[in-house]
Structure 1
Amino acid sequence: MNTYTSPVPMPALDATAPEIYREIYGMPMFVITPTLDLEASKDFWIRGLGFVDLFSIPGQLTHLRRWAFQDVLLVLGERMGEAPAMSVNFSCVLSEIEATAARCEELVPGCASEPREMPWNSVELTVVTPENTRVVLTAARPIDLDGPQAAALREQGFHFLKK
């Protein structure tokens, strides 16, 4: 069996987030988010959502990143209406959910939902950013590998990687 190293840690109650990934790579996926206020949006994504400014072209764009393959390009442009223009999900770990919600709420009151347990075995936090992007942070919950949920998944052909 081939092993695959993911930037996302295995689900665990004590999982820790990987470091910010600053290497340059061919991005398999990224989000482009237009904003009327590049500096305010950049500040929210960095201080609220935990991204870093990988690089900026002043007055034009900012390339933000969290973990590997979590890239966002903020570009100067029109806001896409009142309803969230786009929705994007990013993996995180359980310990990041509450702190991220608190930081975002401090910056823009009312922008974050209450974290919710989802039927697909995750906890999710939804945040609407100043430029009106719906960001969902998804933290996987651990599966008891000896329990009925894991047994049912194995019967369907799923395999579990060991920690």
Structure 2
Amino acid sequence: MSEFKSPVPMPGPGVTAPEPYREFYGMPMFVILPTADVEESKDFWIRGLGFIDLFSAPENQVVHLRRWAFQDVLLVPGEPMPEPTLMSTSFSCVLDEIEPIAARCEELRPGSTTAPVEQPWNSVELTVLTPENARVVMTAARRIDPDSPVADHLREMGIDLPRG
């Protein structure tokens, strides 16, 4: 049996994001978003959030967007949510992507982002409101200092972390 390899890189200095994943697979999870303007939504997801158009059906009946492996979104024509929902969808990224994503989204839709926040679960998160009124969280893991109390606590819980 082979060992599972996550498409998300381990956090650390100088980590680069993987390229968008262009192969087809059985999708274990995906988001379907109705939108009144498929082209506007597609543009925001591609230029703002860094997704690619993996597949578009004729007349934009469905647009399959993807970032990394297992980060799939389907845009379909329809009425978007009337207002933002409290539920959010998170997509992994690396720390060096947070600020550029925020800048691109703000350029395309001023006021669509909140300032990145350091979370207690060891990530930095950027919340983005998309044209469909979907709340998308771009989340980047922070490196855990191997000599920190957090690392010691994780080791006490049985998580195997190397020491500095």
For Structure 1 versus Structure 2, the TM-score category normalised by the shorter chain is over 0.9
Per-residue deviation at 1:3? 4.1
Paired position in structure 2 for 1:35: 35
Identity %: 68
Equivalent runs, 1:66-145 vs 2, <5 Å: 66-84=67-85, 86-145=87-146
Q: After the TM superposition, list the runs of 4 or more consecutive aligned residues in structure 1 that deviate by more than 4 angstroms.
A: none
* C-alpha distance 85-78 of structure 1, shift in aligned 2 (>3 A): farther
Structure 2, unmatched stretches of 5+, are: none
Distance in 2 of aligned mates of 1:112 and 1:94: 16
The 2-side partners of 1:104 and 1:69 are apart by 22
C-alpha distance in structure 2 between counterparts of 1:13 and 1:82, whole Å = 38
Q: CA shift at 1:86, angstroms?
A: 4.6
What TM-score, normalized by structure 1, do the two folds share?
Answer: 0.93
Contact 1:85 1:133 (8 Å CA) reproduced: no
Which sections of structure 1, spanning at least 5 residues, go unmatched?
Answer: none
Superposition deviation, residue 7 in structure 1: 0.4
Q: Which amino acid aligns with 1:122?
A: S
1:111 is matched by which residue type in structure 2? S
Letter in 2 for 1:155: E
Shift of 1:85: 7.0
Native 8 Å contact 2:84 2:135 kept in 1:
no
Stretch of structure 1 that moved more, 49-58 or 81-90: 81-90
Counterpart-to-counterpart distance in 1, 2:86 and 2:56: 23
When structure 1 is superposed on structure 2, of 144-153 and 72-81 the one drifting more is 144-153
Alpha carbons of structure 1 residues 68 and 22: separation in structure 2 relative to 1, 3 Å: same
Matched, 1:24 2:16: no
* 1:1-32 superposed Cα distances (whole Å, 9 cap, x missing partner): x8431100001132110011001011110000
Q: Scaled by the length of structure 2, what TM-score is found?
A: 0.92
Q: Alignment RMSD, CA only?
A: 1.5
2: CA distance, partners of 1:160 / 1:18: 24
- Partner AA of 1:32 in structure 2: I
Secondary structure of 1:154 counterpart = helix
Please tell me the residue identity of whatever aligns with 2:31. V
**Letter in structure 1 aligned against 2:51:** F
| Bigger Cα displacement from structure 2, 124-133 vs 84-93 | 84-93
